[in-house]
Amino acid sequence: MFHYFEFGSRLSHLFPSFISAKLVPLQNDMRGTNKPKMPHTLTSGWFFIICAFLPQIAHAANEANHNDPIASVIISITLIFFFAVIGRLIARQFNQPAVLGELLMGVLIGNLGYYANIDLIIILREGSAIFNIVGDMLRGVPLDVAVNSTIPDVHYAQQVTLALGGENGTEILKVAYVADVFSRYGVIFLLFMVGLETSVEELKHTGKESFIVAVIGVIAPIILGYTIARILMPESSFKSDLFIAATLCATSIGITARVLKEMKKLQTREAKTILGAAMIDDILGLVILAIVSSIVISGVVNVFMVSRIIVLALVFFTLALMIGPWVLRKAVKFFSFLELWEAKLFISFIFLMSLAWLATLVQLATIIGAFAAGVILHDGYFPSQKYSKEMWSIKHLVGPLESILAPLFFVLIGIQVKIESFMDWDVILLASGLIIAAIVGKLVSGLGASRKSDRWLIGIGMMPRGEVGLVFASIGRTLGVMSDQLFSAIILMVITTTILAPPLLKARYTYNHRRQHR
């Protein structure tokens, strides 16, 4: 088997210009008043130097297991988080969303680590399929049989068998399991933070225009996505096509909101329509995700089942909105003996996790409960405070948990993207078709706006899939309805729409400004 320490030499052979790049010290104002400056050489050589040392550190972690059984878990999770931070830093330098940098960093280390035959990366690339293998083994199925029944590709199956059957197989499984659990917590916190940005009062005042834009922005991508999947993948299953369509309907409110805030356009008519539609889009998208997931799991499609899921989702949201405030007021009284910041943190965590769990009792995803918790919870339930409201707000207390755990999810998603999948022209064609469907489907949503609004601007604002699209794709992969090729094509669609939307949004505002001042 390829030795860990050969990885650095292979990289230096493959990328001599990158490895030998001269690094310039990073200039950074620690007070945050200036934007970090990144030298050009950092964006080229830094990635590969870090990756060259990764397997050596991982090897050292395995040796440390004689002292502490979770040493390998500690160093591996820390390294994943470290790479996420580097990805975020580089994305910021190119004025791109942090999620994009974290995702691409995962793609980089996943594929370089796979080339170097690093066992941990080989296992992480298979995602949740590894835990299906472990489940079969616990039922007495031999390792090779369990792997071959779960992973259809013979070459990948052989590599996974060697990795799990090796001397570090147990340690690798520990790392994979903990990383998976932490990343799932990250998704829960992520959807909770999205929910915090969604106000029930604002939803009441979004108006007919935002609602129509949201509905068109959900229906059009679903129809286009399903149609393209059927045309380009006639041999694929109905379940796969359905999940592709569902993934395309997602919209990332965070990316568009960030651009609008930077341009100081949040109070414009179009911005209010976009943000209102995006909030409604999130709710509709999560309901559709629940429907599609149930169809995939049950394998049955009928009007009764779909109606049942819709009713369950509506009942869950309605009861949560009705009972949630009462529960929160009681909880605030009960935890009054705590400091205000402690009460906010503990109540937020307990309420969030409780709703996430309750959602599963009615056959909904945990992220739906997390989103509902964010929508319901706000600082108004707690006593007024003497100190800065921003410092002790729920967003600023829970936000650090999301900031640490959510990047693990995005890096792990990136690791699962297999670049070799794009050696197949069919995959490139599929990815291109999905990108076109994703863009056109959201541009069409602008038609739901009134003639007084810039419909192109609204359509562009609905375009980015971002973190929400990645969550949808991850669930599809977990349910086993997405092949490596399909998963990679969807990730490419998410990356493309996320990159394109901000500059197009700015360009459209610039165009409108120039036209008004002619």
Instruction: Determine the Cα–Cα distance for residues 220 and 11; give it in Å rounded to an integer.
Output: 45
Please list the pLDDT of the chain residue by residue as tens digits (518 residues): 334 334 444 444 443 333 333 333 333 433 333 444 444 444 455 555 555 555 554 554 455 455 677 888 888 898 899 999 999 888 888 878 788 888 889 999 999 888 888 889 999 998 888 888 888 888 888 988 888 888 888 888 899 999 888 888 888 888 999 999 999 999 899 889 888 877 777 666 667 888 899 899 999 999 999 999 889 888 888 888 888 888 888 877 767 776 777 677 767 778 888 878 887 887 888 888 888 888 887 777 677 777 888 888 888 888 998 999 999 999 989 988 888 888 899 999 999 999 999 988 887 888 888 988 998 998 888 887 655 555 678 888 898 998 899 899 889 988 988 888 888 888 899 999 999 999 999 999 988 888 888 889 889 888 887 777 788 888 888 888 888 888 888 888 888 888 888 888 888 888 887 887 76
Instruction: Determine the Cα–Cα distance for residues 231 and 379; give it in Å rounded to an integer.
Output: 50
Place of tokens 């009007």: 303
Among 368, 387, 384, 385, residue whose Cα is nearest residue 376: 368
C-alpha dist (Å) from residue 453 to 159, 213, 254, 464, 515:
55, 12, 21, 20, 15
Domains of the chain and any CATH numbers: 6-182 (no CATH), 196-516 (1.20.1530.20)
Buried b (16+ CB within 10 A) or exposed e, 92-117: ebeebbbbbbbbbbbbbbbbbbbbbb
Instruction: Determine the Cα–Cα distance for residues 471 and 249; give it in Å rounded to an integer.
Output: 12
Place of tokens 């919870």: 377
Residue 289 corresponds to which tokens in the numbers above? 């995700």
Entry pTM: 0.78
Place of tokens 């409201």: 389
Among 410, 198, 401, 186, residue whose Cα is nearest residue 317: 198
